[in-house]
Amino acid sequence: SYVLTQPPSVSVAPGQTARITCGGNNIGSKTVHWYQQRPGQAPVLVVYGDSDRPSGIPERFSGSNSGNAATLTISRVEAGDEADYYCLVWDISIDHYVFGTGTKVTVL
């Protein structure tokens, strides 16, 4: 089955940039979505279609996807960005959706 690997944790100081990777075989050929999940809350879509933002999501959130890794970038990090982040793709070869392993972002 298709595996998406994310770093377990990323720590960043306020105002700095956090980059969260989602690694998968030839993921650049797939469409990646990113979700933010704050403690005790349901996930929220922050980036869809590799790099688009839903309405209401700050421009500080951006995404890219190429080769074997997709990246979610959070610029000018704020305390409220502290959460778990997950990537999601559709594996057409087996008709399955796959979530990444998740990354906990800590704001120092």
Partner 1 sequence: EVHLVESGGVVVQPGGSLRLSCAASGFTFEDYAMHWVRQAPGKGLEWVSLISGDGGTIYYADSVKGRFTVSRDNSKNSLYLLMSSLTGEDTALYYCARWRGTGGLDHWGQGTLVTVSS
Among 36, 74, 102, 105, binds partner 1 (CB under 8 A): 102
Q: Give the separation between CA 83 and CA 68, rounded to whole angstroms.
A: 24
Q: Give the separation between CA 32 and CA 108, rounded to whole angstroms.
A: 28
Q: Give the separation between CA 65 and CA 95, rounded to whole angstroms.
A: 21
Is 95 among the residues that bind partner 1 (CB under 8 A)? Answer: yes
Site for partner 1 in 53-72 (CB under 8 A): 54
Is 86 among the residues that bind partner 1 (CB under 8 A)? Answer: yes
Q: Is the dihedral of CA 99, 73, 52, 28 positive or negative?
A: negative
Toward partner 1, which CB reaches closer, 16 or 29?
Answer: 29
To partner 1, the closest distance from the beta carbon of 59 in angstroms equals 18
Closest CA to 10 of 107, 79, 105, 81: 105
Toward partner 1, which CB reaches closer, 18 or 32?
Answer: 32
Residues that bind partner 1 (CB under 8 A): 1, 31, 33, 35, 37, 42-45, 48-49, 52, 54, 84, 86, 88, 95-102
